Structure 1
Amino acid sequence: MLRFFSPSYISAGFVAVLVGYAGAGAIVFQAANAAGATPDQISSWLWAVGIGMGVSSIGLTLFYRQPILIAWSTPGAALLATSLPGVPMGDAIGAFIFSSLLLTLCGVTGLFQKIMAFVPQSLASALLAAVLLRFGLDAFVALEADVVMVGAMVAVFLAAKQFMPRYVIPLTLLTGVVIALIGGQISSIDTDFTLTRPVFVMPSFDLPTLIGVGIPLFIVTMASQNVPGIAALRAHGYDAPASPLIGWSGFTGVVLAPFGGYAFNLAAITAALCMSPDVHPDPAKRYPAVLWASVFYCLAGLFGAAITALFIAFPAALVMAIAGLALLSTIANSLEAALKEETERDAAILTFAVTASGLTLLSIGAPFWGIVIGMGAYLFRKHFTRIKKG
């Protein structure tokens, strides 16, 4: 029980939630505003996504004893911010339910599991490395913005890696927070910690909205979020079946959509923070980090805007630096796994390059196209090899 309170678990969970809210919390606000939500409804959206992520993550993590983190769909929120203006709130909620039902069906029918079973480990690792690459690079982009704070964080990170590897992330984060406090870089925080009251909105189902909002939300969430999420699990050696995870995250959306829980999916970037070797050398003992992240998610939901303000009060350079440094080990391990098998190396590097490019085609993000192009190269090589042998 005492090991559960290890600083490495607590800090990994906190950093995962910090990165999630500081990096994408504003997009959820924008999506809610685009739907014409009232202040109470915006708070309800925050309640729904926080409680949904926290409760579902706790349940799945304890059931499988693996670090399974559920997140909101960041690309989905960005899509909603541009597609919801002029759409009645009831119709928007109906589209959320429709999208989550499609996600649930993909899980219940086992379709997603069958698709992912064909993806080689090398391609999954390449996909994960590419998804995380931008965050690793941003740690050093942040150095340009704040040499003193980020430079000190990098120095502590390197020293702690050698002498106190279990506490490298807590010490690095603490260094950044102390310097930010001394420099007056942490903005004022709303201290109104009143419990958020969920607001129910009766859904209505408008066919054009279901097609124009619900289906794109489903595609973006599945292709840009769930595929990298499964890749993150597989790249770290976790074997929890994909279909139940997709099914339960979709069902969470069905239940919480009337309160603003627009879409839930497997986390990739924030989950990788909880799967890092820096959390614990033994992969089987890393899952408590997700339990701590779940606690912070639930608190963020219960106290709505106040907790969100706490997370976004940290300076951008600090968030970029701690996220990037925390993910460096995962990026390195993923690249090693991606390029280890010589016969799959070309397909893996294609997957990595396309995904890292950030291209968007047909409103679908780079992770989907990376795995499609990489799988095409892998299958072509496999078929060509059979012909040569035959």
Structure 2
Amino acid sequence: MLKDLSPQSLFMGCLTAFVGFASSFAVVLAGLRAVGASEAQAASGLMALSITMGLCAIVVSFATRLPVSIAWSTPGAALLVATGAVTGGFPVAVGAFIICSVLIVIAGLFRPLGRAVASIPAPLANAMLAGVILGLCFAPVRAIAESPALGLPIVLAWIVVGAFNRLFAVPAALLAFVLVLIFGVDIPDGSFARLSQSLFAAPEFVLPAFSLTGLISIALPLFIVTMASQNIPGIAVLKVNDYKPVPGPLFAATGLFSLLAAPFGGHAVNLAAITAAMCAGPDAHADPKRRYWAAIIGGVGYVIFGLLAGGVTAFVSLAPAILIEAVAGLALVGAFSGSVVAAFREPETREAAAITFLVTASGVAFAGISGAFWGLVGGGLMMALSQGISRLRTKNKA
């Protein structure tokens, strides 16, 4: 294996870890806090996710010799933001994380369930994802409206750097956020001293609680979003780069590592798509058989970032919440635009996708169940009705 390691793969692995962590950790923190996590529990969740996804990438890439990049579920974290606190607090959310992890394992081991998830109409899955993300994507605009001096530098950094290289747009926004926090926010004396003392996060075990509300509002939508928006596209990225992964075992592996992270506040880890394209592409190495080292190095980087999650979380907590949401929203602009295009591409399913999108984006919960679930149900019923009427008309013409 060491003969396959190259400077090119080493650099790409380090870049993968930085981009994967820096581009969306704010979304994870916002999501965990939204469902009731304290600052310490959010730091623990971020640490658990980063370490487990790093270990999963190392183990899976080593075992398969494929550049399998792993990430936390960014759409899933955005879903948590949209869902908000549930009855029973964070323990119920952790119980939902555990159920989601078990479902992912089953989807990998039980082929019919895996096929059922894969058969969810892509327009509806993408419309649900777009609806979940929409609210967070408004945050950069709200940040500028509330405080132009603080919000505008972050957005401008994202725009200017993104015009040259979109890969570095979110890290640039994150750097601007750090500079704004240091020079533009009135930080109480002694904060940085306390920050150095909390550099390493302490794992916080959360005793899970299980409820029907948690199952329907968090576990099922989180499972669907993670599978449809992360795991399945992750397989597609590998196939595009001429690899032949076996999906079932990979899905099961991400579910098992998610199960390890859940009791400590982690919502889900999954196959990556964006960073997978970095590790599986020719920039990682000219020889496809040697690119797996990029994913392994990336996994090592995630573990290191995870160990420093306490300092990251404590530093971010010094900033106004709207600035954290602004960085998270900028990190999700690409995902939002891509999901919208995919949701409304086909004329035959646009109305169904629109219903899914609007119900999900409304943020309204019925019977204590989040709009993401009802959006998928409403869109599915509309699609079934449209297809039934179309078949009836065809039959009558015949």
Q: TM-score, normalised by structure 2?
A: 0.70
2:89 partner amino acid: T
The whole-number CA distance in structure 2 between the counterparts of 1:336 and 1:95 is 30
Q: Give unpaired runs (5+ residues) of structure 2.
A: 1-6, 240-244, 285-290
The whole-number CA distance in structure 2 between the counterparts of 1:328 and 1:43 is 24
Output one character per residue of 1:332-378: Cα deviation in whole Å (capped at 9) or x when no partner. 22212221211111111111111111122343322222222212211
1:318 alignment partner in structure 2: 323
1:302 alignment partner in structure 2: 307
Shift of 1:330: 2.6
1:178-197 superposed matches below 5 A: 178-185=179-186, 188-189=191-192, 190-192=195-197
1:321-336 superposed matches below 5 A: 321-336=326-341
Output one character per residue of 1:73-109: Cα deviation in whole Å (capped at 9) or x when no partner. 7649944853859xxxxxx999987775465334422
The whole-number CA distance in structure 2 between the counterparts of 1:184 and 1:287 is 42
SS at match of 2:196: coil
Shift of 1:66: 5.3
Shift of 1:48: 4.4
SS at match of 2:264: coil
The whole-number CA distance in structure 1 between the counterparts of 2:368 and 2:24 is 27
1:370 alignment partner in structure 2: 375
1:16-95 superposed matches below 5 A: 16-25=24-33, 29-30=37-38, 48-56=48-56, 59=59, 65=67, 67-71=69-73, 75=80, 78-79=85-86, 81-82=88-89
The 1:151–1:117 alpha-carbon spacing in structure 2 relative to 1, beyond 3 Å, is same
1:225 to 222, 225, 231: 222
2:391 to 381, 386, 389: 386
Shift of 1:5: 6.1
Residues 14 and 293 in structure 1, CA contact (< 8 A), matched pair in contact too: no
Residues 344 and 378 in structure 1, CA contact (< 8 A), matched pair in contact too: yes
The whole-number CA distance in structure 1 between the counterparts of 2:202 and 2:315 is 19
How many residues align? The count is: 362
1:213 aligns with 2:214: no
Residues 139 and 324 in structure 1, CA contact (< 8 A), matched pair in contact too: yes
1:154 partner amino acid: V
SS at match of 1:213: coil
Shift of 1:255: 4.7
Shift of 1:31: 10
Shift of 1:323: 2.1
Q: Using the TM superposition, name which of 238-247 and 156-165 deviates more.
A: 238-247
Q: Give unpaired runs (5+ residues) of structure 1.
A: 34-41, 86-91, 204-208
State the identity as a percent. Answer: 25
Output one character per residue of 1:251-283: Cα deviation in whole Å (capped at 9) or x when no partner. 3355566xx336643569xx78x5699x89x79
Q: Using the TM superposition, name which of 101-110 and 125-134 deviates more.
A: 101-110
The whole-number CA distance in structure 2 between the counterparts of 1:165 and 1:30 is 33
1:174 alignment partner in structure 2: 175
The whole-number CA distance in structure 2 between the counterparts of 1:378 and 1:156 is 41
Residues 200 and 309 in structure 2, CA contact (< 8 A), matched pair in contact too: yes
Residues 57 and 291 in structure 1, CA contact (< 8 A), matched pair in contact too: yes
Residues 154 and 172 in structure 1, CA contact (< 8 A), matched pair in contact too: yes
1:88 alignment partner in structure 2: none
Output one character per residue of 1:96-145: Cα deviation in whole Å (capped at 9) or x when no partner. 87775465334422354222232222222222222211121111111122
1:13 alignment partner in structure 2: 21
C-alpha RMSD of the superposition: 4.6
The whole-number CA distance in structure 1 between the counterparts of 2:214 and 2:282 is 33
2:24 partner amino acid: A
The whole-number CA distance in structure 1 between the counterparts of 2:91 and 2:56 is 27
Q: TM-score, normalised by structure 1?
A: 0.71
The whole-number CA distance in structure 1 between the counterparts of 2:16 and 2:256 is 31
SS at match of 1:191: helix
The whole-number CA distance in structure 1 between the counterparts of 2:250 and 2:369 is 22
The whole-number CA distance in structure 2 between the counterparts of 1:24 and 1:287 is 31
Residues 105 and 254 in structure 2, CA contact (< 8 A), matched pair in contact too: yes
2:226 partner amino acid: G
The 1:322–1:49 alpha-carbon spacing in structure 2 relative to 1, beyond 3 Å, is closer
